[in-house]
Amino acid sequence: MPAPTAKKIIDSTIKTFFLAALMILSAALLFPKAAHAALGFVGNMFPVGGSHSNLTEGNNFTVYLQVWKDGVTNSPGAGANITCSLYWGQVPSFGGTWSNITTTPMSYNTDNGNNDEYMATISPTAGLYEFTGYCTDTTDATTTWQGSGNGQLTVNAPVTSCSGATTGDNNIFWDGLLHDSFSTAYRAPTGPVTTDQGTVTLKFRTCQNDVGSANLRIWDDYADSETILPLAFDSNATEPGVGNVTYWTATVPISTDPTIFYYVFSATDGTATVYYRDDAPKFYGGGYGAAEGSQTTAYDNSYQLTIYDPNFYVPSWMTRGIVYQIFPDRFRDGNPANNPTNGRFSYDLPGGAIVRSGQTNWNYTVCDPRSTYAPSCANHYGDNFYGGDLAGITEKINAGYFDSLGITVLYLNPIFRSPSNHKYDTADYLTIDPDFGTLADFQAMVAAADAHGIQIILDGVFNHVSSDSKYFDRYSRYDSAGNLISPGIGTDDQSGACESPLSPFRAWFYIPDAGSPATGPTDRCDAIDGDDPGGVWTETYSAWYGYGSLPKLQANSPDVRDLIWADGGNSVGPYWIGQGADGWRFDVGGDVDPGVTNDPANDYWEGFRTAVRVENSDALTLGEEWGDASAWLLGNEWDSVMNYRFRSAVLSWLFTGCSGNGCTGGVFEDNDSNSGSSSGAISYISPSQFNARLLSIQEDYPPMAWKAMMNLEGSHDTNRVRFLLKKINNDNDSAAAQRMKEWWLFSYTYAGAPTLYYGDEIGLNHDGVWSSAKWEDDPYNRVPFPWSDTPGSYTADTTNLLPFARQMASIRHSYRALQDGDVQHGLIIDDANKLYGFARTNSTQTALIALNRDSASHTASFTGLNAAPYSLHDGTVLVDALNGGTYTVTGGAVTPSVNPAWGVILLEQTEMDSPEPANVSMTANLAQVILTWPQVTLDTNGQPEVVTNYEVWRSVNANFSDATKIADVPPPAFGSTDNLVTFIDETSVDQPDDRPSDFYYRVVAVNGAGVPGAESNQVGASPTAVVLTRLTVRPSPWVLGVISGAVLGLVFIGGVWWRGRRLKR
C-alpha cells in the first residue's frame, strides 16, 4: 500500500477532532450534571461588625459566625463540605491598613435554627485589631464573606498607665504623655537645624481615647512671636507598661532667620488642659520631659530647637586642637628686667602693690588676702605680682614644652596694659603691658608659636576698663595724650571720662550710673569742672558687679565700637589679629551683647566677627558663658565658648563622695559650683544621667560649634581641678590624681578641644580657702608654675600625671576620628556597673571608648559594629591604645574588660598614625657617645604628633644586624634648649686597642598609642669601649658645637622596629 500523503493525514485528523467534539456535546445534552445549592447565607458574626470590644492581654477572645446552605445545614450537626475562618489583623488605628494578618480556622459550635454556628478563639498581644469572617463551600471552592463590616478589638496591656482612659471625662492621664527630643521617632531631625531645613516633624504621645485635642506652642526667640499649631492624629499603638496610646504630630515650618524655637505641648479633654515641657533645661535639657499643670511653668521650661546659619564656619584648628590656658604673671619669668616693683601705685591701696607675696623667690606660696593662713597679705588680690611675662612663654615654646604636651592652641589671659596682675582691668588696649614685655616680645612669641604650629587666642575685656586707665582716669594719672605721667594720684586735667563732663571719653561710660553703680564710698566722678582742681566728685557711674575699679563701657557707643572693632586695622580686634594673634576670647561677653535672639538690634558681636575675619578668615571668636550659650552660636557672632556645662557634667561624673565644709547631704558646693550658679552643685550622676547631660549640650549647639568647644577642667575663675576632685572624692588627694587621669581619658577622646589650665598637667594645686561659709578660689588658683629650675613651695608631678597627659594628647593626635569625628553616644549605659561607652566615627575610622567608674572590673560589650556608622567588619583588629592588647571584631561585637576607675580606647590597628623618624646627631670621645635629636612633633602626614618614648638601638654591625635596644628615653620634662633630646652612652669596658669595635645607633620614636615610627638615620662611633651605665635627659647646649670624637659614618637605613622585632623595611 502506498504511504499516505501529508494532505490526507491532515484531513483525517480534522475529521477525527470534529467527530469527538460532536460526541461530547451529545453526552452533555443527554446526561446533564446534578446542580449544587450555593451557600445561602454567611453572617450573624458576634461581636458584630462595626462594634468595638476591649480585652486585657493574656485573655481569650472568641468570635462566632453562622452559615446556611439549603439542604445541608438544615439537619442537626455540622453540614457537609463547609469550612469557616476568622480573618484578623493588627491596625495602627481603626480603619487603617492591616498588618500581621492571620487566618484562624473556625470549628463547628452548634446549630442555630437552620444555620450552623462556627467559632474561633484567639489570644492576641496588646494592640489594635480588626476582624471579619468567611465560609467556603468545598464542593466548588466558593467563598462567601460575612457582610456586616469589620469588628474592632482593643487589647490592653494588663494594669497599664492608660487603663481606663476615656475622652470627655475632663481628666487627662499624665503618665501617658511623652515627647523625647533625642529620638527621631519624636523629633525628625534631632538636634539643631539650619535655616534652610524647611520643616521639622514633632510628635507627642497621649493615652488612647484620653484627649479631645492636642496643640503645640512655639516661641520664636528672634522674632519674639508665638505660634500655636494644632496637632494632627498620627497613629495608635500599644506600648509595654503604658498600654494603648495615640501619637499626634505637627510639621513645623523652620524660620529662615537664625533663631531659637522654644516649644511646649498641651493636651485638652473638656475643661482639663495639661502641658508637656522639658523637665530640667538647665542640665538635662532635651530628651524626656514632664507633664505640667501650670502654663507659666511649662512655657518657662520649654524644649529648645536651635536654628542656625547654614554658612556657619568655625576654624578647624580649634576643632582639632588641644588648648593650654596661661595666666602670664604666674607661668614663667623669662625677663627679670621687666618685673613689677614693690610698692607701686595700685588703686590707691595703702602701701601699694607687693611682689612675690613679700619675698623674692618665684616658687613661693601665694599669700592669703583673706588672712586665713600664713603667709597672709590682707586685701592684696590683684596686686601681688610674680613677674611672669611673654618672654617666659616664648622660652617654653622654643623649648618644646608645649609640643611635648600636644598643645596646638595657647589661650592667654589679658596681656594689655593694666594696673593688676590679672589684667582684666584694661588701661590701654593697644599696648602690651610693660610687666609682660613689649610689642617686639609679642611678635617674637607669635613667631615662635607659628614655627611650632601653635595658634594664639587673646583675652578681650570689652565690657569694662580700668578706672585707672587713660580712658576713665579716676586717679588723674594720665595726660590728654594718654601717657601715664604720675606714679601716684595726679592732678585733674579734665582729659579722662571721670575727670570732666567735657572729656571726649565721657560718652563711653554710664555717668551717672544706669544701674550697677560702683559701690565704693569714693567711687565717684566729677560732675562739674568749675570747682577744679579741688572740688568734690559726686557723680556715680556704672561698674561691672559694682566694682569701682571696673567702669562699664557703653558698647553701643560709636566711639567705643571704633576703638574695639569698627575702625578697621586701627581697632583693637583687627589690630592684634594683624599682629599675628589667631583669635579672641571675650570676657563676660554676654554683658556686652546678649546674643542675637535676646537683642536682635544689637550687632556688636556680628560686627566684631566680621572685622577680625577681614584680617584673617580663620580668626576665632570665643565667648565666656557659664550657662547655655546658644544665643551667640547661631552662625554670626561666636564660634565657640568656654564649655562650663561640660565641666559641670564631668565633675559630677567623677564624684564619689564628700564630707566636711561645702558638703551637705552628699552634695558639694564651692563659690562657682553651687545650687545658685549656672554650673550647679556637684553630686553623683549615673551613666544614664551623664549621657543625658552630654546629649543636652549637643542638642543645643550647632555641630561645628559643639565640636570646637573649649572643654575646660578649670580656669583662672575656678578652684583648681585637683582641689575640687579631692573634695568630691572624700578629701583623698591620691584619688584626685587618679580622677584627673580619668578626666583626660574622657576629654581627649570626646568632641571639643580638651583644655588644660596651666600646671594641671603636673598636678599643680593650691587648696581653696573656706571663707564666709564657702570655698573661695581667687587667688589660690593662680600660683606660680614650679619649673625644675625654680624649686620652692609648689611641686610638679612629672612621673605620673605629666606622662599620662602626654600619652592622651598623643593618642588623640594619632587618630583623626578622635579629633573631629562624630560622637555616637551611649553605646554602653550600665548604671548598675557604672559603665559608659561611646564611639567616635568618621568616613574611614571608628574609635570605641569605654569608661568604668566602678571599683570592680567589668566587661564592656560593644555590639552592632558591622553596620554604619561604625562599619567594622568581622575580623577587624582593634588596638587598646591606652592599655595595650588587641581585640578582634566577631559577630559585629567586641567585649573588652575594663579595669576599675579606668577605661579602654579601641582604635583600628591599620588606621593609626605613626611619628616621623628622628634626625639623630652624635658626638663621641673615648669615654662616651652623645646622641641628640630634635623632638619629633609631626606624624608622617605632617600633622601634630606627640612622641612619648624614644627607643635607642645599638649594634656592632654597620648593617645593624643583631641590634639591641639599650634605652627608652622620654621627652624632657619641661622642654630643653633648642627643643633637643639628649642620650649619653658611656664607656667602661677595657678592650684591646687593636680590636676596636664599631658601634652604630638608631632611634625609634614611639607615640602614646604604642605605634613606632620608622628608624632614624644611623650614626656610628668608635669609642675605646662602650657600655651603658647612665641614662640622662637634660638640656645640652654644648651638643650644638662641632661634632667631635671618632665619627665613623652617617648611614640611613629605613625600617620600623616594634618591641625588638623588625616589622618592615
* 849: β partners: 838, 905
Residues 88, 237 within the same domain: no
Helix (H) or strand (E) run with residue 253 in it = strand 243-253
CB within 8 Å of 871: residues ≥ 6 apart: 846
Residues 213, 251 within the same domain: yes
Half-sphere exposure of 64 (CA within 13 A, CB side): 12
568 vs 92, residue with greater confidence: 568
Q: Which of 5-9, 204-208, 672-676, 718-722 has the lowest mean pLDDT?
A: 5-9
Q: Which pLDDT score, from 0 to 100, does residue 1056 have?
A: 34
Residues 136, 192 within the same domain: no
Grid coordinates representing 595? 546674643
Instruction: Mark which of 813, 834, 852 sits at the end of a domain.
Output: 813
Does residue 615 form part of some domain?
Answer: no
Q: Which pLDDT score, from 0 to 100, does residue 926 have?
A: 74
Angstrom distances, CA of residue 709 to CA of 25, 316, 325, 647, 837? 93, 12, 14, 11, 21
Does residue 325 form part of some domain?
Answer: no
Span 815-835, pLDDT tens digits: 999 999 999 999 999 999 999
CATH code of residue 696 = 3.20.20.80
Grid coordinates representing 721? 581641678
Instruction: Mark which of 758, 786, 813 sits at the end of a domain.
Output: 813
Residues 883, 926 within the same domain: no
Residues 226, 289 within the same domain: yes
Q: Which pLDDT score, from 0 to 100, does residue 1025 have?
A: 40
**Cell 537645624 sits at which residue?**
193
Span 214-273, pLDDT tens digits: 999 999 999 999 999 999 999 999 898 899 999 999 999 999 999 999 999 999 999 999
Span 100-109, pLDDT tens digits: 999 999 999 9
Grid coordinates representing 729? 572624692
Give the alpha-carbon dihedral of 467, 471, 473, 478, to 10 degrees.
130
Residues 474, 523 within the same domain: yes
Whether the Cβ atoms of residue 573 and residue 459 lie closer than 8 Å to each other = no
Backbone torsions φ then ψ of 929, nearest 5 degrees: -115, 130
Q: Is 167 exposed, middle or buried (0-12, 13-18, 19+ CB in 10 A)?
A: middle
- Residues 338-353 have a mean pLDDT of 97
Give the integer Cα–Cα distance in Å for 707 and 640.
9
- Residues 898-921 have a mean pLDDT of 97
Span 625-679, pLDDT tens digits: 999 999 999 999 999 999 999 999 999 999 999 999 999 999 999 999 999 999 9
CATH code of residue 142 = 2.60.40.10
CA 833 to chain CA centroid, nearest Å: 23
Span 829-887, pLDDT tens digits: 999 999 999 999 999 999 999 999 999 999 999 999 999 999 999 999 999 999 999 99
Residues 647, 793 within the same domain: yes
Does residue 168 form part of some domain?
Answer: no
Q: Which pLDDT score, from 0 to 100, does residue 991 have?
A: 46
Backbone torsions φ then ψ of 693, nearest 5 degrees: -70, -40
Grid coordinates representing 884? 595595650
pLDDT at 95 over 80: yes
CATH code of residue 886 = 2.60.40.1180
Dump the DSSP string for 519-549: -STT--B-S-STTTTTPPP-B--BBGGG-TT
Does residue 297 form part of some domain?
Answer: yes
Does residue 358 form part of some domain?
Answer: yes
Angstrom distances, CA of residue 988 to CA of 349, 757, 767, 890, 925? 65, 46, 49, 54, 13
Span 496-521, pLDDT tens digits: 999 999 999 999 999 999 999 999 99
Which candidate, 953, 923, 917, 952, places its Cα nearest to that of 935? Answer: 917
For residue 744, give its domain range.
642-813
Grid coordinates representing 442? 609679642
Span 750-780, pLDDT tens digits: 999 999 999 999 999 999 999 999 999 999 9
Residues 799, 657 within the same domain: yes
Does residue 585 form part of some domain?
Answer: no
pLDDT at 19 over 50: no
Whether the Cβ atoms of residue 496 and residue 547 lie closer than 8 Å to each other = no
pLDDT at 1028 over 80: no
Bond before 189 cis per omega within 30 degrees: yes
Residues 358, 379 within the same domain: yes
- Residues 914-918 have a mean pLDDT of 97
Helix (H) or strand (E) run with residue 445 in it = helix 439-451
Residues 807, 687 within the same domain: yes
Question: One-letter amino acid identity for 312?
Answer: F
Question: One-letter amino acid identity for 77?
Answer: G
Q: Which pLDDT score, from 0 to 100, does residue 879 have?
A: 98
811 vs 96, residue with greater confidence: 811
pLDDT at 12 over 80: no
Span 375-432, pLDDT tens digits: 999 999 999 999 999 999 999 999 999 999 999 999 999 999 999 999 999 999 999 9
Q: How many domains does the chain have?
A: 7
Instruction: Mark which of 878, 911, 944 sits at the end of a domain.
Output: 911
Does residue 51 form part of some domain?
Answer: yes
Span 115-167, pLDDT tens digits: 999 999 999 988 899 999 999 999 999 999 999 999 999 988 787 889 899 99
pLDDT tier for residue 987 given thresholds of 50, 70 and 90: low
- Residues 210-214 have a mean pLDDT of 97
Which candidate, 388, 400, 413, 397, places its Cα nearest to that of 445? Answer: 397
Q: Which residues of 36-53 are buried (b: 16+ CB within 10 A; e: fewer)?
A: eeebebbbbbebebeeee
pLDDT tier for residue 534 given thresholds of 50, 70 and 90: confident
Give the integer Cα–Cα distance in Å for 126 and 837.
34
Q: What is the CA radius of gyration of the chain?
A: 40
Q: Which pLDDT score, from 0 to 100, does residue 924 have?
A: 86
Backbone torsions φ then ψ of 874, nearest 5 degrees: -60, 135
Span 155-207, pLDDT tens digits: 887 878 898 999 999 999 999 999 999 999 999 999 999 999 999 999 999 99
Helix, strand, coil tally for the chain in percent (to 5): 20, 30, 50
Residues 546, 507 within the same domain: yes
Mean pLDDT of the chain: 91
Q: Which pLDDT score, from 0 to 100, does residue 1021 have?
A: 66
Half-sphere exposure of 551 (CA within 13 A, CB side): 30
Give the integer Cα–Cα distance in Å for 662 and 656.
15
Q: Is 1020 left (phi over 0), alpha (psi -120 to 50) or beta?
A: beta
Does residue 670 form part of some domain?
Answer: yes
Instruction: Using DSSP bridges, classify how beta strands 99-112 and 409-412 pair: parallel, antiparallel or unpaired.
Output: unpaired
Grid coordinates representing 984? 649619653
Give the integer Cα–Cα distance in Å for 142 and 62.
25
Span 303-320, pLDDT tens digits: 999 999 999 999 999 999
Residues 292, 180 within the same domain: yes
CA 227 to chain CA centroid, nearest Å: 32
